[in-house]
């Protein structure tokens, strides 16, 4: 029976008749920088990324076409993160027939999120940020879960987007997602404490909270995103941007237009590079250390885009425009914002008007966070003041 069949939906998850065991070796990766790019790294006290070694000692009904059961196949792809082993470790629903266990379907980990738990999780995320200085990588986590969206595909979850699929190793192993295992590990304790939150919501909540905690604008977030149920629902590799393409402007437009975003969104979202730093040994970009990164916080080293790389402001645009400080990083996809006429009109404005940048960034971030999402209830869940009809930001679908 196909793994993708769904036996149960919702927060009331069926207790498994058989609890699979697995041994997974994971070491937190060095933290990566905010936003899209070529695996731009921002290390904290966590160690280097070690490839996950997946082992399974599960005995269950064999699939008709091969020697491995559906449960074993699913285990081989699922990264058992965030303490969900108690409920849906394998993501599979198991029934017992004549004393034998067989996998008959896949349970969706969460249909909707609990508003009070979302509020509690936000406060817990703030504690993690205060301890780990991990704002850049949590922003990147939310962006990369959403940034696979393709507006030309109508069906969920085939269209990609913010659906929690980044928790599965098949997508987490994409080259553009290098280091994001560290971000997920940072949220493990939050998920354990607040289990009635979908992964899709948790990733976007962490991203928005990191922006706000770093001094950025409050983002009008909508929650209630449904999660994908298994690795077979992940998007193929190749939808995320790179930092140094041959034609930066064309590349950025190709990627962001595919998601239904526009030139203003591209420039505003690029402004999140005011946070974070890049490490050449991991991304191929930047200097090993600068006067702005030699003392951390977190593990020292790397090259930042701005002097105060844990403060959200409009200095990214000012510094790129001036090009006076060789200690600061400027990627091809950064420089093009002041070279391409369509981008330059916004970059010039943001360099001198921080209030406008904050307003536009909040709108673009909200749009990005909803790309491809399926909400339950359809109108979503708001844990702050619900935007009015005039204020509400609607993403392209």
Residues with a catalytic annotation lie at 144
Six-digit token string for 92: 């599979």
Q: What angle do CA 374, 380, 386 make, to 5 degrees?
A: 145
Residue 289 buriedness (CB in 10 A; 0-12 / 13-18 / 19+): middle
CB atoms within 10 A of CB 227: 25
Burial 163-185 (b: 16+ CB within 10 A, else e): bbbbbbbbbbebebbbbbbbbbb
Question: For residue 22, how many C-alpha atoms fall within 13 Å in the half-sphere facing its CB?
Answer: 28
Please classify residue 337 by burial: count the beta carbons closer than 10 Å to its beta carbon, then call 0-12 exposed, 13-18 middle and 19+ buried: buried
Burial of 53 (0-12, 13-18, 19+ CB in 10 A): exposed
| Cα distance between the two ends of the chain | 32
- In whole angstroms, how large is the CA radius of gyration of the chain? 21
| DSSP code, position 373 | -
Cross-strand partners of 96: 101
Residue 255 and residue 100: Cα distance in Å, rounded?
48
- Backbone φ, ψ for residue 249 (5° rounding): -65, -45
386 CB-near residues (< 8 Å, 6+ apart)? none
- Sequence-distant (6+) residues with CB within 8 A of 344 are 337, 338
**In this structure, how many other beta carbons lie within 10 angstroms of the beta carbon of residue 54?**
16
Strand extents, DSSP E, 142-210: none
């Amino acid at each position: 029976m196909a793994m993708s069949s769904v036996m149960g939906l919702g927060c009331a998850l069926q207790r498994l008749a058989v609890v699979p065991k697995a041994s997974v070796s994971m070491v937190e990766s060095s933290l990566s920088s905010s936003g899209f790019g070529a695996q731009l790294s921002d290390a904290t006290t966590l160690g280097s990324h070690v490839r996950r070694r997946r082992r399974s000692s599960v005995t269950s009904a064999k699939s008709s076409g091969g020697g491995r059961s559906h449960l074993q196949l699913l285990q081989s792809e699922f990264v058992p993160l965030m303490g969900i082993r108690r409920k849906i470790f394998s993501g599979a629903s198991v029934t017992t027939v004549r004393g034998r266990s067989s996998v008959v379907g896949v349970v969706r980990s969460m249909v909707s999120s609990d508003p009070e738990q979302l509020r509690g999780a936000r406060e817990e995320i703030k504690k993690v940020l205060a301890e780990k200085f991990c704002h850049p990588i949590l922003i990147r986590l939310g962006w990369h879960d959403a940034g696979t969206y393709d507006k030309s595909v109508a069906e969920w979850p085939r269209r990609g987007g913010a659906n929690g699929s980044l928790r599965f190793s098949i997508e987490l192993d994409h080259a553009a997602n290098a280091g994001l295992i560290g971000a997920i590990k940072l949220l493990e304790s939050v998920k354990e404490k607040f289990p009635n939150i979908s992964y899709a919501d948790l990733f976007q909540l962490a991203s928005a909270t990191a922006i706000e905690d770093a001094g950025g604008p409050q983002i009008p977030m909508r929650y209630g995103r449904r999660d994908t149920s298994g690795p077979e629902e992940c998007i193929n590799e190749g939808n995320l941007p790179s930092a140094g393409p041959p034609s930066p402007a064309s590349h950025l437009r190709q990627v962001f237009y595919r998601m239904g975003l526009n030139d203003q969104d591209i420039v505003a979202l690029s402004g999140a590079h005011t946070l974070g730093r890049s490490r050449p040994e991991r991304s191929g970009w930047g200097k090993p250390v600068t006067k702005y990164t030699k003392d951390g916080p977190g593990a020292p080293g790397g090259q930042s885009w701005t002097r105060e790389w844990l403060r959200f402001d409009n200095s990214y645009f000012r510094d790129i425009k001036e090009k006076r400080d060789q200690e600061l990083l400027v990627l091809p996809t950064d420089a093009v914002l002041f070279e391409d006429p369509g981008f330059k009109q916004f970059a010039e404005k943001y360099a001198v008007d921080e209030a406008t940048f904050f307003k536009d960034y909040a709108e673009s971030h909200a749009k990005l966070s909803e790309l491809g999402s399926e909400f339950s209830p359809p109108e979503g869940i708001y844990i702050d003041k619900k935007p009015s009809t005039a204020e509400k930001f609607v993403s392209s679908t």
